[in-house]
């Protein structure tokens, strides 16, 4: 399916994705992040990812890769 658009919905705290065939998908950020172990830095980066790049956030969440991504971001960051 071709994606028409995706954006972060601040009122529902999730990602709205619309496909070219008029299919709509909502991904709840609260549900996607409920079992994550994050630091303040990795949580900040996850929040920014959802807002700035909602398709990448959705892909990571649906592939169960958010934890690995957050861990990698923490390894790259040094105070």
User: Mean pLDDT in each 10-residue stretch from start to end of the chain (79 residues)?
Assistant: 88 95 94 94 95 94 94 75
- Which residue stretches of 19-65 are H helix? 29-33, 40-52, 54-62
Distance CA 79, CA 75 (A): 11
Task: Give the chain's length.
Answer: 79
pLDDT value, residue 3: 81
Q: Where are the domains of the chain?
A: 3-28+35-73
State the pLDDT at residue 15.
Answer: 97
pLDDT value at residue 78:
55
Q: What is the pLDDT of residue 79?
A: 56
pTM: 0.87
């Amino acid at each position: 399916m071709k994606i028409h658009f995706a954006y972060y919905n601040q009122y529902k705290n999730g990602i709205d994705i619309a496909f070219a065939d008029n299919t709509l998908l909502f991904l709840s950020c609260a549900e996607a992040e409920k079992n994550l172990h994050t630091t303040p830095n990795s949580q900040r980066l996850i929040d920014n990812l959802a807002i700035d790049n909602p398709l990448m956030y959705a892909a990571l969440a649906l592939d169960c890769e958010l934890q690995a991504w957050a861990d990698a971001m923490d390894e790259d960051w040094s105070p």
